[in-house]
Amino acid sequence: MSDEMRIKFWGVRGSYPTPGAGTVKYGGNTPSVEIQAGDRTIILDAGTGIIPLGRELARTTPALAGGARERAGELLLLFSHLHHDHTQGFPFFVPAYMPNAKLHIYGPDGTHESMKNVLERNQSSETFPLGLRDMASSKDIQAVRESQVIVWDEDGVRVVESANSLSDEAVVIRIHKSYAHPGGVFVYRITWRGQSIVYATDTEGYVGTDKRLVKFAKDADVLIHDAQYLDEHYWGQMEGLPSTQGYGHSTVTMACEVAASSHTGQLILFHHDPSYTDDVLASMERTAKSLFANSVTAYEGLEFSLIPNPSPIGRREMKAVQYAQNG
Ligand SMILES: [Zn+2]
Ligand SMILES: [Zn+2]
């Protein structure tokens, strides 16, 4: 098994896809992030970024295309919530159509409907030619709760009530339910071999920082955080643009405050406003770096490798060399 924990960004844009000349550098696909923990693939959200990711997985994962007698090719897809920018790529996710694929699809129920119903309705015959049941993969669709833990170890993928006595090889995923977004949102903390990635999209900062989120993200190696707005946009100081306070998204400053307070190793600004061009996003990165040095604006193709630290030196001392930014 590969020792590497790797993150790759396939969709980084919030709200709706934004193709065009002004978004070439950072990309226009809606949220989807791939995490590889050894040979296990975890996907965060199914915005349109999951479409090119699906093609890549279908091409490079032999088990997905394997014959009936082979072990199924397993993938774990986690939804932060069910807003359409986080689900709209799923009907075009190639592995979902592959008979040897087994998809574990976990996330929160909607406010009025179950997660399964929402996904089925997204592909009702009125709105899409193929329903969930027409997709040949086998699907384990489960709504999960904040108190539960998602585990992927030698025994496969499952949801447990407590993460006690798991092997070192287990990928352990904890859930934080945030109310800082309309309808609520799940923040995930994915840990493998002592390294942690926190995925906190679609969340708005609080005055004095979101203390529950800071606690949940404490000492994470990588924090992927919503940073949809320029501060002046959020506060309604931009000509012709209303304040976006209460929309459920953060400013660069809010993202940096959470990163600094939680002592995260690396901050990745995420869920970019669809009206922002590459130049605006580059300026947001400069602002972020002045507030929290290890900041980067997510772009399609950005990759981070977290190499497990075999030395007895403490993890925090080793942080500087753990990151290999490839993209
Ligand atoms: Zn969103
Ligand atoms: Zn949302």
Phi/psi of residue 109, nearest 5 degrees: -70, 160
Instruction: Give the model's pLDDT for residue 65.
Output: 81
What does the mean pLDDT of the chain come to? 92
List, for residues 126-148, the tens digit of each pLDDT value.
999 999 999 999 999 999 999 99
Distance of CA 266 from the midpoint of ligand 1 (Å)? 21
Q: Nearest ligand to the C-alpha of residue 31?
A: 1
Instruction: Give the model's pLDDT for residue 311.
Output: 44
List, for residues 17-42, the tens digit of each pLDDT value.
999 999 999 999 999 999 999 999 99
Distance of CA 248 from the midpoint of ligand 1 (Å)? 9
Categorize the per-residue pLDDT at 1 as very low, low, confident or very high, splitting at 50, 70 and 90.
low
Instruction: Give the model's pLDDT for residue 319.
Output: 40
Distance of CA 50 from the midpoint of ligand 1 (Å)? 14
Distance of CA 221 from the midpoint of ligand 2 (Å)? 25
CA neighbor of 285 nearest in space, from 47, 35, 26: 26
Categorize the per-residue pLDDT at 239 as very low, low, confident or very high, splitting at 50, 70 and 90.
very high
CA–CA distance, 93 with 32 (Å, rounded to integer): 11
195-200/185-192 β-pairing? antiparallel
CA neighbor of 146 nearest in space, from 161, 124, 163, 166: 161
Who contacts 180 (Cβ-Cβ below 8 Å, separation ≥6)?
203, 204, 205, 206, 210, 213, 248
Who contacts 149 (Cβ-Cβ below 8 Å, separation ≥6)?
159, 160, 161, 162, 163, 172, 173, 174, 175
Strands (E), the chain: 5-11, 32-37, 40-44, 73-78, 101-107, 138-143, 149-153, 156-160, 171-178, 185-192, 195-200, 222-226, 266-270, 295-297, 303-306, 323-325
Distance of CA 254 from the midpoint of ligand 2 (Å)? 17
- In angstroms, how far apart are the furthest CA atoms of the chain? 62
SS3 107: strand
Distance of CA 202 from the midpoint of ligand 2 (Å)? 5
CA neighbor of 228 nearest in space, from 249, 258, 242: 249
**pLDDT of 15 above 60:** yes
Distance of CA 229 from the midpoint of ligand 1 (Å)? 13
Distance of CA 249 from the midpoint of ligand 1 (Å)? 9
Distance of CA 275 from the midpoint of ligand 1 (Å)? 14
Residues with CB under 5 A from ligand 2 (ion): 83, 202
Distance of CA 325 from the midpoint of ligand 2 (Å)? 28
Least confident of 62-71, 83-92, 99-108, 278-287: 62-71
SS3 212: helix
**What distances in angstroms separate CA 149 from CA 38, 172, 192, one per listed residue?**
20, 7, 13
Categorize the per-residue pLDDT at 67 as very low, low, confident or very high, splitting at 50, 70 and 90.
low
CA–CA distance, 110 with 115 (Å, rounded to integer): 6
Instruction: Give the model's pLDDT for residue 317.
Output: 35
Distance of CA 91 from the midpoint of ligand 1 (Å)? 17
Instruction: Give the model's pLDDT for residue 316.
Output: 38
**pLDDT of 58 above 80:** yes
Burial of 56 (0-12, 13-18, 19+ CB in 10 A): middle
Q: Nearest ligand to the C-alpha of residue 16?
A: 1
Distance of CA 197 from the midpoint of ligand 1 (Å)? 19
Q: Nearest ligand to the C-alpha of residue 201?
A: 1
